[in-house]
Amino acid sequence: MKAVGVVVEYNPFHNGHLFHLQQAKKQSGADISIAAMSGNFLQRGEPALVSKWARTKMALEAGVDIVFELPYRFATQHAETFAEGAVSILSAAGCDTLCFGSESGDLNAFNKTIIFLEENNEKFQERIRFYTGEGYSYPKSISLGFQSLAPDESFIDISRPNNILGLHYIQAIIRQKSSMRAETITRKSAGYHDEHFASATIASATSIRKALFGAVGEIENIKQYVPETTYQQLINYRDQYGGFHSWENYWPLLKYKLLQSNASELRGLYEVEEGLENRLLAAAASSESFQQFMEYIKTKRYTWTRLQRVCLHILTNTSKNTMKTSQKTVNYLRLLGATEKGRSYLNYKKKDFSLPLVSKLSAFSDPDIELDIKASRIYALGQTGKGQEQLLAEEFARPPIMLKS
């Protein structure tokens, strides 16, 4: 059986994701699809709209055959580490192809860009240091540095979020000496960060979430942009758990954590650079919401995404020592769900997997598993009452979702 791998967050699964999934299968000629999916907290430092279990079910009902969890230590990191973790999962699971969406859609341009960066790495790093010294954020410095060296239009635009992720996927495949080949599909209609609906059927996850948390907050507003199965899962989740998750749910917890910490304690947490801790403490005392807090601490140097990740690691009390290990790849394959076709693949191929398959937490021990358990418990605190109780119990009590045909 031939497998294509995709790296996803599905926050939530929408029509653009469905297009990518269908094209990935078609373009690769794969029999099944395997997703490496972020858990309850995401790469941009946000809580997922709904839990990893609800998003797993969305994925399976839409056509993904197997979902493995990308652990917190990789899922909440910058693009390079995020990509290393995801590629290691898909490679270990026997994927023949990794198919990613990009703004470019041209694999030759990706390969040309990678060769150029390898040949000019020293100059490129010098330019990055120059621009960061000028006060630009690291992602902006990368973009400016590359533009100053390579204005050639045949290179990819590495200021675009999916292009830069795709670049790191290919580099991770090369570094890990994986037998997977890379393919890319042009993203359809909506941009990654688009906040408004610009098409009749395709919208970004950002605009969908904004509609769900808008002034009206009517779930019907997003119906045309998501598969019917996603729409039903969102309704079920809202009714069962009491609502959706956003940073505002966690603001009282983050504010408490900040106000009971001192500067030295904050400096020990991951991604808190020296000097930032004082700004965080001052803002926490005078902010009444997460939005207000973020607007207070935002600077030219620190992107919104970077600051959200800082806040997330403070919320989960994740230290620099926990995240900065020499390990660059995932140690296990944690199964979140599978279709009948996916289970046939697992039964046939799991003996060839290069990593252990984990379907029951109590049967496996790993520091990254412990970190995921802690993150899931904190994620549950974004709800109250019975919704919180259910989420707290799920991490250990819930087996992988097995979807029947």
Could you list the residues known to form a binding site for ATP, using ranges. 7-20, 101, 162, 187
**221-243 burial code (b ≥16 CB/10 A, e <16):** ebeebbbebbbebbeebeeebbb
Query: Is the separation of the CB atoms in 382 and 47 below 8 Å?
Result: yes
Residues facing residue 102 across a β-bridge: 186
User: In this structure, what token pair is assigned to residue 99?
Assistant: 């198919």
Query: Is the separation of the CB atoms in 334 and 71 below 8 Å?
Result: yes
Cβ neighbors of 272 (< 8 A, separation 6 or more) are: 266, 280, 310, 313, 314
3-state DSSP: the chain helix, strand, coil percent, rounded to 5? 55, 10, 35
Binding site as annotated, residues: 7-20, 101, 162, 187
Number of other CB atoms surrounding residue 75 within 10 Å: 25
Q: H/E/C letters for each residue in 284-328?
A: HHHCCCHHHHHHHHCCCCCCHHHHHHHHHHHHCCCEHHHHCCCCC
Based on DSSP, count helices (H) and strands (E) in the chain, helices before strands: 19, 8
Q: How far apart are the C-alpha atoms of 87 and 170, rounded to whole Å?
A: 9
| Nearest Cα to Cα of residue 58 among 3, 4, 24, 9 | 9
The maximal CA–CA distance of the chain, rounded, in angstroms, is 58
Instruction: For 103-161, give the DSSP string.
Output: SS--HHHHHHHHHHHHHTHHHHHHHHHHHHHTT--HHHHHHHHHHHH---TTS--TTSH
* CA 121 from centre of chain: 27
Query: Is the separation of the CB atoms in 24 and 225 below 8 Å?
Result: no
